[in-house]
Amino acid sequence: MSALVAEGLQTWYGKSHILHGVSVDVDDGQIVALVGRNGAGKTTTMRSLMGLTRPRAGRVSILGRETTGWPPDRVASLGVGYVPEGRRIFAGLSVEENLLVPNGRTGPWTIARVFELFPRLRERRNSKGRQLSGGEQEMLAIARGLLLNPRVLLLDEPSQGLAPLMVREVFDVIVRMRAEGMSVLLVEQNVRAAVEIADAACVLDDGRVVFSGSARELARDEARVRTLAGASASDWRMLDDA
C-alpha cells in the first residue's frame, strides 16, 4: 500500500513554472530518496505535498486520503511530519522548550524516547537553540518532527552542512524510523548517503522526473548520478572518509 502518492504535479511560483508533471510514490515503511541539483524542484515538491504551495494541476493522496488542495495543518493532522530545510528551531528557547512546542497525535514518540534516541540532546536540554552545533540543531529539528508521531515524514536536506560522522548518525536515525514502520520521503544533496539507505529513488532535473526506480539501481550508476543529480565526486567519497 502507498503511504504517499503524487501524480502529475504542476506547481508555479508566480509566473515561474517549477514542477512539470512530477510524480512520486512512497510505500508503507519505505524510504524514498528525492535527489537532484539545486533548483531542480525538490523543496517545491515537498511544499506541494504539504499544502504549503498549492499545485495548479495534479493530485496528492496521503494515507489513503485525497489531500490535493488541503492546507498544511489539515495534511499534518493525518499523521504527516515535515522537517524543512534550514533547521527551523526556536533559537531563543532551550532544547527542552523546543521539544514542548509540537502538539501532535498521541503515540510512541515522547520527549523521554527522543532523548534516548539523541543522548546529546539530553545533555544539552537546557542549552538555547542558538548555542547548538549544526548537527545538534538537525537532531532537534528531527526530534520535533518525531514528537508529532507521524506515519509519514518528509525530511528536507537533513545532512546539509554536517560533518561526515554526523551525516552517518543522522542517517542511522532515519533507518531506525523505517524499522518502526514509518514512511520517509528524503530530499538530499548528499546523493550517495541517500541512496545507500533508501529503498527507491527519484531524480529531478529542472522540475521533471528523469529517473524513478530502485535506489540500488541508481547507486550502481555512479556516472548517471553525478550527471543527473549534480553530485560531485566528493559526495560519493564522503562517507568513506568518515
| pLDDT digits (tens), the chain, 242 positions | 799 999 999 999 999 999 999 999 999 999 999 998 888 999 999 999 999 999 999 999 999 999 999 999 999 989 999 998 877 789 999 999 999 887 666 788 899 998 988 899 999 999 999 999 888 888 899 888 888 889 999 999 888 877 788 888 889 989 988 998 999 999 988 888 899 999 999 999 899 999 999 999 988 887 766 665 454 444 434 444 44
* CA 11/CA 56 separation, integer angstroms: 6
Q: What is the reported pLDDT for 237?
A: 42
- For residue 101, the cross-strand partners are none
Angle at 13 (CA atoms; ends 102, 60), nearest 5 degrees: 55
Q: What is the reported pLDDT for 233?
A: 41
* CA 24/CA 26 separation, integer angstroms: 7
Q: What is the reported pLDDT for 6?
A: 97
Note the CATH number of domain 2-234. 3.40.50.300
Per-residue burial over 183-197, b = 16 or more CB atoms within 10 Å of its CB, e = otherwise: bbbbbbbbbbbbbbb
What phi and psi, each to the nearest 5 degrees, are found at residue 156?
-110, 110
Q: Which residue has the cell 512539470?
A: 20
Which residues lie closer than 8 Å to 217 by C-beta, 6 or more apart? none
Q: What is the reported pLDDT for 234?
A: 44
Angle at 51 (CA atoms; ends 68, 17), nearest 5 degrees: 85
Find the radius of gyration of the CA atoms of the chain: 17
Which residues lie closer than 8 Å to 229 by C-beta, 6 or more apart? 35, 36, 37, 191, 203
Phi-psi region of 133 (alpha: psi -120 to 50; beta: other; left: phi over 0): beta
Q: What is the reported pLDDT for 227?
A: 65
Q: What is the reported pLDDT for 232?
A: 42
